[in-house]
Amino acid sequence: MAIDLAQPKVLLEGLLFAESPRWHDGKLWFSDMHAHKVMTVDMEGNSEVVVELDNDRPSGLGWLDDGSLLIVSMYRKALMRYDSQGLRLHADLSELTGSFNNDMVVDAKGRAYVGARGIKPDGTPVRWGRVIMVTPDGEARSAAEDLHGPNGTVIFPDGKTLVVAETAGHRLTAFDIEADGSLTKRRTFAELGESYADGICLDAEGGIWIGSPGTMECLRIVEGGAVTHRLSHNDKKPVACMLGGDDRRTLLLVSTKFEIEHLTELTRREDDKNSRSQSWIETIPVDVPGAGLP
């Protein structure tokens, strides 16, 4: 039986649509998608804008060995690089992408695994998607096909297993990572039933935390699909989570109130910053620390 989590405490509010949280260098990094910004917040609630994208939504984040920040530029269908030289193109993903790119994980060798997704003309998700692998020098190729809405992605500490959330497929799917970065031996890590995983993170016991905005829950899932912990969020939609803090035993939960149409390409507008969405970052103490990537 799942353990009910304590109600979260607000760390940061006043955001439009926060996504893709990452614990890095003692801070939580995240994308405020509708504000077109990448930001950080420390555990005292002090926030800072790192970089702003020009009229596009940032999503997945990760780092290269030299400290460069990689940013998924959703509708430009590109992976951007931000460092002392500013913001510039790292890889053009347009030939491998349907409607938009989404979340991402960057492995210890600097290879980025980016989800590519599509939508129907009426704005509903297409059961199509792939994971694109981008090398540290910006070469891109398809690493996995026929995924139902690839989204949050984690890599286990040994660097040999990748798990991606198939949001539209209501499952977590695992792959082996080969020496050349290819993804092989596809298998189901967990079927999620009515829940569906958006952003995810990994802990030291192999449990995966998922934000499930459709059921307004945050869940911890173990391989095979058992739910060990559950937070039912009555008034907000948990879209993503990350384990952080000094001992990585704080679950940092991104929760949002939003209008569904703001998620579609068809209604993407220059006035994103007037979005009706509201977003928070909240904290919950947990027992098992974070592990792996991101």
Q: Strands 69-73 and 183-191, how do they pair?
A: unpaired
Q: Which two tokens stand for residue 5?
A: 């989590």
Q: Which pLDDT score is estimated for 263?
A: 47
- Closest among 3, 53, 6, 34 to 253, alpha carbons compared: 6
Q: Which residues, listed in sequence order, are joined to residue 175 by a DSSP beta bridge?
A: 162
CA–CA gap between residue 275 and residue 269 (Å, rounded): 10
Identity (one letter) of the amino acid at 208?
Answer: I
For residue range 162-198, list pLDDT tens digits in order.
999 999 899 999 999 999 999 999 999 999 999 989 9
Per-residue confidence band for 269, with pLDDT thresholds at 50, 70 and 90 = very low
For residue range 85-114, list pLDDT tens digits in order.
999 999 999 999 988 899 999 999 999 999
CA–CA gap between residue 240 and residue 116 (Å, rounded): 18
Per-residue confidence band for 34, with pLDDT thresholds at 50, 70 and 90 = confident
Domain spans, the chain: 3-285
User: Which region among 40-54, 111-125, 126-140 has the lowest average model confidence (pLDDT)?
Assistant: 111-125
* This model's pTM is above 0.85: yes
User: Which region among 3-17, 92-106, 109-123, 216-230 has the lowest average model confidence (pLDDT)?
Assistant: 109-123
217 and 227 Cβ atoms separated by less than 8 Å: no
- Checking if the pLDDT of 266 tops 60, the result is no
- Domain 3-285 belongs to what topology? Neuraminidase (2.120.10)
- Checking if the pLDDT of 244 tops 70, the result is yes
Rounded-to-10 torsion of CA 204, 208, 211, 212:
-160
274 and 259 Cβ atoms separated by less than 8 Å: no
CA–CA gap between residue 152 and residue 131 (Å, rounded): 11
Alpha helices in the chain (DSSP H): none
